[in-house]
Amino acid sequence: MAWTGGGSLARPLTGADEAYQTLAGARVGGKPRLTVTGVKLGEMSVASSRGPATVPAWLFDLKGYGSPLKQAAVTPSKLPQPPIERSRDIAGHSLNQLVQVSADGRSVTVVALHGACDDGPVVDVLETRGSVVLSASVKDRKDDGNCTKQLLQQQVTVKLDRSVGDRVLLDAHTGRPVPYKPPHRPSPSWS
């Protein structure tokens, strides 16, 4: 696995049969929906909490299709335990997506959600050895009775004490990694 911005990680490969089984989970009448005519090891791009990465992939040739179906051929690494649990008892907002990590890794830009009747989002950060936990909230919620219930998105850049490096970016509200979606294009997952 190699990241576009630099760095790599060695992970064990999965077999073609195992990778296919993750794709073929839904069967009709016990028969696969697609007919595989060939398979070879190649590469594909995936979104990760550290940005786009290139990983080994099984390329399945399918009857009736001109392009292969790609499935990652690596075992995912176990996510580190977040230093905090998901926030359950406080009102919070999720982070919609990670947009970018600065070249030096010392700041991250995320899209935070907020309402039409507040002064915008605020993103606080808690840094540990294995993770960067981002917690979204809003500035000065207005309560004048004439507020619409629309949800707005705004980019927020958060400064870090040290480079993100190989730490995972976590959303404190969900307790999960912040999804990476580059600006102005969809996030690749599988093709």
Q: What is the pLDDT of residues 42-86, one digit of tens each?
A: 998 887 766 778 888 999 888 888 888 888 888 776 766 656 565
Strand partners, 134: 125, 171
pLDDT the model gives residue 161: 95
Of the candidates 63, 71, 78, the residue with the CA atom closest to the CA atom of residue 20: 71
Strand partners, 184: none
Q: What is the pLDDT of residues 128-148, one digit of tens each?
A: 888 888 888 877 766 666 677
Q: Name the one residue in this structure whose structure tokens are 């629309």.
A: 150
**Annotated domain spans of the chain:** 2-72, 95-177
